[in-house]
Each structure stands twice: as C-alpha cells, then as structure tokens.
C-alpha cells in the first residue's frame, strides 16, 4: 500500500487527508476506523456495487464494533438527481443518524458525488469517507471534495465543496469493472499528462496496453501518479478560483455532449475524451498546440478505446449548452486549452467564428 496526502493550502482546521492506494485494501477497516468520530456509519452504494463489496465492508467494520446503515441507490448517471439525493436523506433520518455518524461512499463517481453532497448537507455537515471502486473515481472524482448532482439544464450545477476525511482506493475492485468503464477512467488519467505532467503522458503511452489488460502494477502506478497530480492542484486551489480549473480540460465540450445525448448515453470519460480532442483542435486553430500534438492526443485516446470524434448535435446546441458551464464568467465561456503538451491555460477570448467553425468541421454524424 502507498499513501499520499492532500494538504489544503488555506486550511487552518486540519482538513488535509490521506489517500491510501493498494490492492486488496478495501476490507482493511483500520484505514477507516481512525477517521470515524462515532462507531456508526451509513454506507451509500448502488445496486451494482452492493452485491460485490458491501457485505465484506460491513463485516470488516462490524468486527471492530462499527454498526452500519446500508443505503443502496439505483445505478447510473441518470440517477444523479434531487430525487436520488432525497433517498439518502430519507434513510439517514429514518435510521436516526446523528451529527457524528459518518457517510461512506462505496462506488464510482455518481455514488461519491451524491454521498458527498448528502454529507455536506445533512445536519449541516457530517463526516465523509470515500471508498471509490471505479478507475475514474479513484483517479479523479474521489479526490478534491467536489460533490453534487445534475440539473436538467446542466451537469454538476448544484453541489458543494466538501472534503473527505480519507480516500481508500483499492485497485482490486477494478477486476470487476466493465471494460467500457475502465476505458472511460483512462480518459481522466491521460488528462493529467496533458495539462501538467508530460513525463506521465510518456509513461501512459508506453503502458496503455498493460492498463487495458488490467496489469495490477500498471494500474496502481496510474492511480498513484494521477492522485499525486490531483492532490497538488487541489492543495493549491481548493475551490477552483484559479489553477484547479485546468483539471477541466475537455470538460466544457464533454459536459455538453453528455447533456445533449442524454445523461448516461455516453460515459463521462468517453465525453471527456472526445471533448479533449475538440479542445486540442481549438488550441491548434488559435496558434498554440501544433498539429503533431493534436495527432498525438487523438492517437492515444484511440489506443485507449475511447471516442475521438464528438457527435454532431448542432453548433447552436453546443454553444447553448457550453453557456451553462460552471467556468462561465462575465457571460463568457472560458475554455481550458493547451499551449503545448503538459501546459494548459484558461482562455476566455476565443473568437466566435473560430469556435463555430471548429465545431462545424470537427463533429461527426457517426
């Protein structure tokens, strides 16, 4: 097992926390116990993950005297909603959970976002713990404290920054992850190399086949390097007032794709991959990234089995949906673009004709 730490630069109340990474560590109750202020916890999971890991986790905690309340949600991005969030509140209230009852997220990004938002809101804040079971959650959404739900008008538009007390990323849970979801997680892994760690991108290119084959050493290294990058960015900018926005490379386009097609039609990582290719092409058209860089990005996502052509939902639809992006400031959409591989910048002065032309030429009916 390896342990990293998220140290929040502006924190005066010891809100930094460890990230434990390893194989077979999910049932190591001691990793969680020291972060429980009360020997009672609610475990939020879903109908897919619960049959795989819920009983083992409950037994491990019970062995140390922790009583648990299971809260099993339906599975899927479409359920990242007020209605599902209310199911968590119903269970917490019905079981008379208290201010020191911890909420544990056991699952992927949707479970983590829902459970985290519930923890931030219930009784104005209860302890929160992340046990991510998908690659995307282990390398991205479980770290950094972003929680929330989708709205009919935009993805992740309602939520809170609420940091967990500990993250336990067990790479063995990826053995049961469908191939499509594993590939979707790689989209976020690749992102770190593109925005700030070109050496990591070189490593991914050499090891992408091993990652797809679920080589345990390769997966553990990818999780570790990704979490190191995420932790460094979050430590410098917890609430996304500056550099943290760079983590959204490809997301402005990607969120528009998810929304336009209907949440869950494309997985988040699939939409981010196609969105990143669009961001790379826009970067090239603005005189930053060269053609070789665009081709390199496209080739790596293709090798990872991810879409590199964004769907054609209409230029006006893209522009309308991107206008609802969280990075919009003073009425202008801000794009994360690449000056070169390993260096990203936020731009709010993209000419409308360049953006529209790129969307018109680079989206596909396929």
Active site residue 259: no
Active site residue 77: no
Active site residue 46: no
- Angle (CA) 247-248-251 rounded to 5° is 150
Q: What are phi and psi of 348, to 5 degrees?
A: -115, 5
Q: What sign has the CA pseudo-torsion 250, 253, 257, 258?
A: positive
Cβ proximity of 250 and 191 under 8 Å = yes
Active site residue 244: yes
Catalytic residue from among 77, 181, 188, 270: 188
Active site residue 238: no
Q: CA–CA distance from 276 to each of 44, 203, 286 (Å)?
A: 31, 19, 15
Burial of residue 83 (number of CB atoms within 10 Å: 0-12, 13-18, 19+): exposed
Catalytic residue from among 46, 150, 229, 248: 248
Active site residue 239: no
Catalytic residue from among 196, 230, 285, 334: 230
Catalytic residue from among 259, 268, 326, 334: 268
**String of DSSP letters for 185-225:** HHHHHHHHHHHT-HHHHHHHHHHHHHHHTT-HHHHHHHHHH
Catalytic residue from among 181, 240, 270, 281: 240
Q: Distance between CA 325 and CA 333 in Å, rounded?
A: 7
Tell me the three state secondary structure of residue 51: helix
Active site residue 100: no
Catalytic residue from among 20, 58, 146, 225: 146
Tell me the three state secondary structure of residue 284: helix
Catalytic residue from among 155, 251, 259, 334: 251
Active site residue 230: yes
Catalytic residue from among 96, 124, 361, 365: 124
Catalytic residue from among 225, 244, 259, 326: 244
Catalytic residue from among 40, 58, 80, 255: 255
Number of Cβ within 10 Å of residue 243's Cβ equals 16
Residues 6+ apart with CB under 8 A from 221: 203, 207
Q: Distance between CA 220 and CA 218 in Å, rounded?
A: 6
Active site residue 317: no
Q: In the block, which residue shows the tokens 């056991």?
A: 106
Q: Distance between CA 307 and CA 174 in Å, rounded?
A: 21
Closest by CA to 4, choosing from 225, 183, 236, is 225
Active site residue 188: yes
Catalytic residues: 124, 146, 188, 230, 240, 244, 248, 251, 255, 268
């Amino acid at each position: 097992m390896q342990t990293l730490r998220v140290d929040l630069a502006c924190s005066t109340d010891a809100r930094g926390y460890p990230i434990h990474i390893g194989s077979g560590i999910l049932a190591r109750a001691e990793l969680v116990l020291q972060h429980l202020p009360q020997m009672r916890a609610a475990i939020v999971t879903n109908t897919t993950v619960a049959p795989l890991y819920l009983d083992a986790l409950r037994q491990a905690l019970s062995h140390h005297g922790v009583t648990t309340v299971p809260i099993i949600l339906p599975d899927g991005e479409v359920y990242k909603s007020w209605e599902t969030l209310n199911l968590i509140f119903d269970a917490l209230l019905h079981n008379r959970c208290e201010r020191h009852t911890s909420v544990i997220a056991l699952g992927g990004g949707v479970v983590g976002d829902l459970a985290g938002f519930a923890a931030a809101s219930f009784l104005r804040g209860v302890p929160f713990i992340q046990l991510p079971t998908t690659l995307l959650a282990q390398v991205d959404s479980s770290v950094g404290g972003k929680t929330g739900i989708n709205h009919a008008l935009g993805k992740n538009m309602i939520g809170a920054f609420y940091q967990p007390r500990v993250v336990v990323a067990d790479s063995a849970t990826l053995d049961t992850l469908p191939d499509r979801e594993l590939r979707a997680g790689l989209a976020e892994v690749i992102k770190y190399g593109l925005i700030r760690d070109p050496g990591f991108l070189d490593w991914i290119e050499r090891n992408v086949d091993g990652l797809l084959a679920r080589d345990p050493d390769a997966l553990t290294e990818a999780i570790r390097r990704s979490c190191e990058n995420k932790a460094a960015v979050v430590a410098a900018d917890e609430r996304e007032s500056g550099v943290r926005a760079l983590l959204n490379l490809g997301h402005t386009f990607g969120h528009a794709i998810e929304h336009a097609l209907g949440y869950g039609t494309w997985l988040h990582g699939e939409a981010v991959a196609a969105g990143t290719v669009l961001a790379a092409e826009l970067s090239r058209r603005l005189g930053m990234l060269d053609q070789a860089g665009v081709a390199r990005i496209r080739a790596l996502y293709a090798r990872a089995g991810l879409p590199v052509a964004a769907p054609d939902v209409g230029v006006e639809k893209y522009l309308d949906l991107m206008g609802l992006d969280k990075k919009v400031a003073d009425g202008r959409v801000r794009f994360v673009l690449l000056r070169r591989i390993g260096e990203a910048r936020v731009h709010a002065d993209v000419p409308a004709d360049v953006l529209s032309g790129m969307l018109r030429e680079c989206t596909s009916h396929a």
